Amino acid sequence: MRRRKIAVAAGCCLSFLLGTLLNVLFIPGFDPHQQQPRRGVTPAFAGSPLYWPAEDRESQRLELARQIRERYEEVVRYQKHQAPAAAARRLVRPLERRLMDLAQQRTSSEQTLRLEKGKAPQAESRGGSYPEAKVDLALNPPLLGCRDIHNVTSLHYLGSGYTKAVYKVVLNRTLAVALKSVDFGGHDIENCVKQYAALEDCYRLASYKIVKEMILLQRLQHANILQLYGYCYQDSNDIPDTLTAITELGSPLEMIQLLQTSWEDRFRICLSLVRLLHYLAHSPLGSVTLLDFRPRQFVIVDGELKVTDLDDASIEESSCTSNRDCFIEFPARNFTLPCSVEGRCRNMNEKRNLYNAYRFFFTYLLPHSAPSSLRPLLDMIVNATGELHWGIDETVAQLEKVLHLYKSGTYLQNATWMPKAEYQQIPEAAIPDENYRCWPSYHHKGCLLSVFDVGEAIKVCENHSQCKAFVLTNQTTWTGRQLVFFKMGSNHIVPDPDKITYVKVTG
């Protein structure tokens, strides 16, 4: 029994190490040519394709070829859509200039990958016509490629899903980016190889999902969609043209941590999301739905929410002959949408996105610890989206209204409130110590909150029993509100040209 346990443990460790090794070996740019060629994954179980009769193996080969062809044709459909004219005319941003400086001079063959006509290598030996591995993405500069990821530093594995593995690297010791490649230990490759025993073709099937995502990242130009910086096709061991996508790097969206942040930051996440969904509902490709809509599909870049995974996005609108065909099912709710005279379920993509935004984001992030005068409007937004009474146009308009009320200070208007105490203003002064903690706070060891003006700071101080003073800083939040330290005393005041201190003198 003990030997059996040791054998099982050793087998588990060996499987884990093999999956990790395959992922590292098959990322282009990481010294692939020095690795020994691998001759594919050979299933060792009796029911594997290697033990099937010849006619069954041929049937399975044709089925895999059909799936590859269908996925390739899906890529081509998305590729044929033109990018928005506004995106083509946009000005070069500072980061893009930085990418231009970083990217080395390339030949025209390196700038654009060409979609060659004819059969792929070995197509005739397979007995069928396979789509080409390389797809012409026609990316506008700046474009990063294989040369840029040959000598990366600070390689870190970030995570993986069914299809892709994601790594963080630093290029030229200055620019941190994300690299996405097919995960050889992932669900898609593992199941495909078990069924078809054809590693190269299984890789090609999975890689088209990355190509689709790259095309969408290029075609859909929006502030809340991750930027595509470039890509690299490169032979790796016995698989030609393995693909690595180079994208903007973001921080994973951690909902538990997000719940501990200020309402202002949580509202920003929700506002970013509805702006994204509004764009997707009216995109140049038509209405785009995110079929795999979960928090893990998003990242945070400089406080803004951005969608990072688009390989499961779709522009297909469901056809219908009656309302009964327009049924949307969620774990807790089901909805029936109207069938239009054109035979399409009206706004199904938009409504699917909106309800997912409600159940994954709005419910948890919008109402809690919001300013009391804004809660009725926020509750109305949550309830309306939860019942799908509103579309995305009305939802984004209402959230923009909340932003205006918050930034302008209109939500603070209350003619009856008067401060209970007087406060002495001390210019160019600060209180370095005498902190107390409050929640939520921008500082983990003190009470640092945002306010619209001094009047709101006084109101906050009077609502905190510990507060005896507060210090206005010269720092602001994304809405332009001023950050203020609230203090439990004023025994030690020091000069500081960038701050103003207010000390409670009565009350």
Task: Give the active site residues.
Answer: 292
Secondary structure of 425-463 in the HEC alphabet? EEEEEECCCCECCCCCCCCCCCEEEEECCHHHHHHHHHH
CA–CA separation, 57 vs 462, rounded Å?
A: 78
Q: Which residues pair with 181 in a beta bridge?
A: 165, 244
CA angle 130, 214, 272 (to 5 degrees): 150
**What is the torsional sign of CA 261, 267, 273, 279?**
negative
- Side-chain half-sphere of 183: how many Cα atoms within 13 Å? 18
Cis, peptide link before residue 142, omega less than 30° from 0: yes
CA–CA separation, 334 vs 116, rounded Å?
A: 46
CA–CA separation, 28 vs 24, rounded Å?
A: 9
For residue 344, the SS3 value is: strand
Instruction: Show the tokens assigned to 380.
Output: 């109305």
The enclosing H or E element of 56 equals: helix 54-80
For residue 236, the SS3 value is: strand
One-letter amino acid for residue 157 of the chain: Y
Instruction: Show the tokens assigned to 201.
Output: 């073709």
**CA 129 from chain center: how many Å?**
36
Q: How far is CA 369 from CA 45, 98, 259, 378, 413, in A?
A: 57, 40, 10, 11, 19
